[in-house]
Amino acid sequence: MSEVRFKELRHAPPMAVNFAKAVLRARVRPGSAPVLSDEGLRLNDVAQKSRHLAAYRQVCGFSADGHLPITYPHMHAFALHMALILGDGFPFPAMGLVHVRNRITQFRPIGEREQLNIKCYTGNLTQVEKGYEFSIFTVVSTAGERVWQSESVNFHRGGGHGEKKAPDAQRDAQTTAPAPDLIEEWEVPADTGRRYASVSGDRNPIHLYPLTAKVFGFKRQIAHGMWSKARCLAALQPELPEQAFTVDVRFKLPMFIPAKVKFARTRQNDGIDFQLLAADGVKPHLSGELRPVSD
């Protein structure tokens, strides 16, 4: 991919406009040789709104400690993500994309009064067995210092090469992993998707009501993947390091809500492994690992 050309925005794109565009572009198809745009988006001097931050903490379970929750910068980036995948010429429709993995690196805790500069761009387009995967990268800085970055991997079904991939080494390793040193049971209410949508702007119908989810083939609404990640990290909040660290999560089976789930954490020498499991303690909704950033 060529060097990214960044377009500077004065304001975050309105989510209502983004979702209207998503409907209009629902019939977009990638063709035989899809190509990602080399244009990125940049938004500077983003201030934190205390009421919005408090609402985010409440729905995700974070306590107020003077710093932004590690997943909170994604709230500012999401509208930019949507604008990127709704741009003219983008090869995939927004509707139907599946968020399969999210990797966040926090280089230091971010104060809740700091203003942020955010830039987002796409890359790493890969043809896989059943379709295509691509990444949306986000870099957050303040006063010229990079403080946070993420990679969101999305999957589009259709047009894959049909070749089965090698066994998942992470999945195989989990079969011999040590027993968790912490297991908690959580109740996830039916309105979780609507509450998270109100703070994130992600009002995808699959997360809202049973009827709107059924239109897209789900038996009832499912929880947002980034809510699940945030809820797990809220449970780990007292253990998150001050130094730079990365938390990498794979989204697996959808969580139909309301639900009872189990959060399992296992300490490792250099970090923490964690899972969010169905009530049976077996079916995985999410698996993740937290590791320090090596110097």
How would you class 8 by CB atoms within 10 Å of its CB: exposed for 0-12, middle for 13-18, buried for 19 or more?
Answer: exposed
Give the pLDDT band (50/70/90) at residue 100.
very high
Tokens at residue 266, please? 């296992």
* Predicted confidence (pLDDT) at residue 64 exceeds the cutoff of 70: yes
Q: Does a cis peptide bond (omega within 30 degrees of 0) precede residue 91? A: no
* Averaged pLDDT score across all residues of the chain: 91
CA atoms of 254 and 248, how far apart (whole Å): 18
CA 274 from centre of chain: 16
CA atoms of 46 and 41, how far apart (whole Å): 14
Q: What are the domain boundaries of the chain?
A: 1-165, 167-295
Same CATH fold assignment for domains 1-165 and 167-295: yes
How much is the pLDDT for 140? 98
Segment (H or E) for 21: helix 15-24
Phi then psi for 53, rounded to 5 degrees? Answer: -60, -40
Among 244, 260, 255, 242, smallest CA distance to 284 is for 255
* Averaged pLDDT for residues 61-66: 96
Q: What is the CATH T-level fold of the domain 1-165, as seen in this structure? A: Thiol Ester Dehydrase; Chain A (3.10.129)
Give the pLDDT band (50/70/90) at residue 168.
low
How much is the pLDDT for 158? 85
For domain 167-295, which CATH number applies: 3.10.129.10, 3.20.20.140, 3.30.70.3340, 3.20.20.110?
A: 3.10.129.10
Summarised one tens digit per residue, pLDDT across range 178-236 is 788 879 999 999 999 999 999 998 888 889 999 999 988 889 999 999 999 999 999 99
Strands (E), 77-197: 98-106, 116-128, 131-142, 145-157, 182-188
Does this model's pTM top 0.85? My answer is yes
Return the number of other C-beta atoms located less than 10 Å from residue 10's C-beta.
Answer: 6
263 contacts 206 by C-beta, under 8 angstroms: no
Summarised one tens digit per residue, pLDDT across range 15-33 is 888 878 888 887 888 888 8
Through-space distance between the first and last CA atoms of the chain, rounded to whole angstroms: 28
CA atoms of 118 and 147, how far apart (whole Å): 10
Among 275, 269, 274, smallest CA distance to 292 is for 269
User: What is residue 170's three-state secondary structure?
Assistant: helix
- Neighbouring-strand partners of residue 286: 251, 276
DSSP string, 195-214: HHHHHH----GGGT-HHHHH
Summarised one tens digit per residue, pLDDT across range 236-279 is 999 999 999 999 999 999 999 999 999 999 998 899 999 999 99
* Predicted confidence (pLDDT) at residue 2 exceeds the cutoff of 80: no
Among 131, 66, 77, 130, smallest CA distance to 102 is for 77
